[in-house]
């Protein structure tokens, strides 16, 4: 088989046993695989869908039901190690996502938004190919060859011929499959480690959620199910409106602020996550506009940022350092420190019961939102300051564990990304 590229390629990092092996070259995907056209017909099979960045998942598992209906007979039938290209754009994969079917049961995907192909196992290791698609090699190739279709689901118009022309880098010579397998096994071991760390993170988050449900009273009750020994004789918690515990509410839910290329960084609703600030989305307001825009009030350290819409109910603390302006769909909450600690209210707003209450009192069909005057009138239950502080300290320590685990996960993800960049030839050279 002859490669499609005129020049040879060499990855930056190669395992010792392959350093003297032949160079790499590129092949069209069509040289390494064939389009799958077999349909389900009257046979039994499990209908699948896809989750970008995760892979193929049965419709029952993802949606809680099977949606194939009468169209199942037209679904494309998959075998073990077949690939399914979903022609729906996502943020991470704007040119669509390709997943490898690793199951052994009869499976199928909708023919309307999928193109499927079967790799030639004597030429390419499926797990090796899968890692190239995870790195979005196909997207970089297809980005100038697709257009968003007219359908509401955002399906992409992509010709199968263009898909089959995706250049795939492979080692050449008699050791090609051995080197592919070595790379795939190395990355698979990292994936196993990542999976274990994700499970640890999920366990920590679930533990905190369960603990919160014990440390805060149920809706309509005034005593929590779990109470620290020193507070067991303190009596019932007090119900009041959230607004009665606030010294100040700064409401910036109106029109969007005037954006600038640089200046004072904006904190918008998309920066406020569920318990933390994500400052990776950078927008700015002119320094000259800052005073007039922030005329309603300037937040200070310890204030709580609460999103009223898109997303609804996210909470974070105002940053400890730096100068920031606030965008729309955010209100700032400043508590009365002798009545309610900011750290306690922060945790209370994250509880499942409070989130349900916020959602129940929201309005809107497309994007649900809550008005600040409705929010501050929601009922809120709290104990004495000393018990508030104890609860906040315990939950905050868990937040620190969760943050540390998240950082560990990010380090591993970046390590894998960097390793992939070295184990494969540079994509720009592949696509040249």
Q: Following DSSP, what letter does each residue of 33-52 receive, concatenated?
A: EEE---B-TTS--EEEEEET
> Could you tell me which of 334, 333, 341 has the C-alpha nearest to residue 385?
341
- Domain 238-382, classified CATH 2.60.40.420, yes or no: no
> Could you tell me which of 170, 128, 182 has the C-alpha nearest to residue 17?
182
Q: Where are the beta strands (DSSP E) in 358-429?
A: 379-382
Tell me, what's the pLDDT at 154? 55
Q: Would you write out the chain's pLDDT as a tens digit for each of its 432 residues?
A: 666 555 578 899 999 999 999 999 999 999 999 999 999 988 888 999 988 888 999 988 888 888 778 788 899 999 999 999 999 888 899 999 999 999 999 999 999 889 999 999 999 999 999 999 999 999 999 988 876 553 435 578 888 999 999 999 999 999 999 999 999 999 999 999 999 999 999 999 999 999 999 999 998 999 999 999 999 999 999 999 999 999 999 998 767 788 899 999 999 999 999 999 998 888 999 999 998 889 889 999 999 999 999 899 999 999 888 899 998 899 999 999 999 999 999 999 999 999 999 999 999 888 899 999 999 999 999 999 999 999 999 999 999 999 999 999 999 999 999 999 999 999 888 887
Distance CA 56, CA 38 (A): 18
Q: What is the C-alpha end-to-end distance of the chain, expressed in Å?
A: 20
Distance CA 105, CA 303 (A): 53
Cα separation values, 212 from 127, 318, 404, Å: 41, 22, 20
Whether the Cβ atoms of residue 242 and residue 320 lie closer than 8 Å to each other: no
Does the fold of domain 238-382 match that of domain 16-174?
Answer: yes
Overall fold of domain 16-174 = Adenine-n6-DNA-methyltransferase TaqI; Chain A, domain 2 (3.90.220)
Tell me, what's the pLDDT at 150? 38
Tell me, what's the pLDDT at 409? 96
Q: Which residues pair with 250 in a beta bridge?
A: 332
Tell me, what's the pLDDT at 152? 39
Alpha helices in 300-384, H assignment, sequence order: 342-349, 352-360, 372-375
Q: Where are the domains of the chain?
A: 16-174, 238-382
Whether the Cβ atoms of residue 415 and residue 231 lie closer than 8 Å to each other: no
Q: Is the dihedral of CA 417, 421, 427, 428 positive or negative?
A: positive
């Amino acid at each position: 088989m002859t490669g499609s590229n005129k020049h040879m390629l060499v990855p930056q990092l190669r395992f010792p046993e392959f350093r003297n092996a032949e160079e790499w070259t590129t092949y069209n995907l069509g040289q390494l695989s064939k389009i799958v056209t077999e349909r389900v017909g009257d046979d039994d099979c499990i209908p699948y869908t896809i989750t970008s960045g995760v892979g193929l998942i049965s419709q029952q598992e993802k949606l809680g039901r099977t949606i194939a209906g009468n169209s199942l007979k037209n679904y494309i039938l998959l075998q073990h190690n077949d690939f399914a290209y979903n022609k729906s754009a996502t943020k991470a994969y704007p040119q669509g996502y390709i997943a490898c079917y690793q199951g052994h049961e009869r499976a199928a995907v909708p023919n309307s938004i999928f193109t499927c192909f079967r790799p030639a196992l004597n030429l390419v290791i499926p797990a090796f190919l899968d890692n190239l698609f995870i790195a979005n090699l196909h997207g970089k190739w297809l980005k100038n060859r697709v257009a968003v279709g007219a359908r509401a689901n955002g399906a992409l118009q992509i010709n199968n011929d263009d898909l089959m022309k995706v250049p795939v880098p492979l080692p050449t010579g008699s050791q090609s499959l051995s080197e592919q397998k070595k790379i795939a096994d190395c990355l698979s071991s990292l994936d196993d480690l990542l999976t274990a760390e994700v499970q640890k993170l999920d366990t920590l988050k679930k533990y905190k959620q369960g603990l919160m449900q014990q440390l805060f009273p149920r809706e309509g009750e005034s005593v929590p199910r779990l109470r620290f020994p020193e507070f067991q004789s303190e009596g019932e918690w007090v119900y009041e409106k959230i607004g009665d515990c606030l010294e100040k509410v700064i409401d910036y839910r109106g029109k969007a602020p005037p954006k600038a290329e640089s200046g004072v960084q904006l904190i918008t609703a998309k920066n406020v996550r569920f318990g933390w600030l994500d400052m990776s989305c950078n927008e700015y307001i002119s320094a000259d506009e800052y005073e007039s825009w922030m005329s309603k009030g300037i937040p200070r350290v310890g204030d709580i940022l609460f999103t009223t819409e898109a997303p609804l109910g996210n909470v974070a603390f105002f940053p400890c350092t730096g100068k920031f302006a606030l965008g729309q769909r955010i209100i700032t909450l400043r508590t009365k420190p002798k009545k309610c600690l900011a750290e306690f209210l922060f945790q209370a707003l994250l509880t499942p019961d409070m989130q349900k209450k916020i959602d129940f009192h929201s309005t809107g069909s497309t994007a649900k939102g809550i008005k600040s005057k409705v929010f501050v009138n929601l009922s809120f239950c709290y104990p004495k300051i000393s018990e508030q502080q104890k609860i906040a300290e315990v939950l905050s320590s868990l937040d620190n564990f969760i943050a540390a685990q998240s950082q560990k996960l990010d380090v591993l993800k970046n390590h894998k990304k960097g390793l992939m960049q070295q184990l494969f030839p540079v994509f720009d050279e592949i696509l040249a």
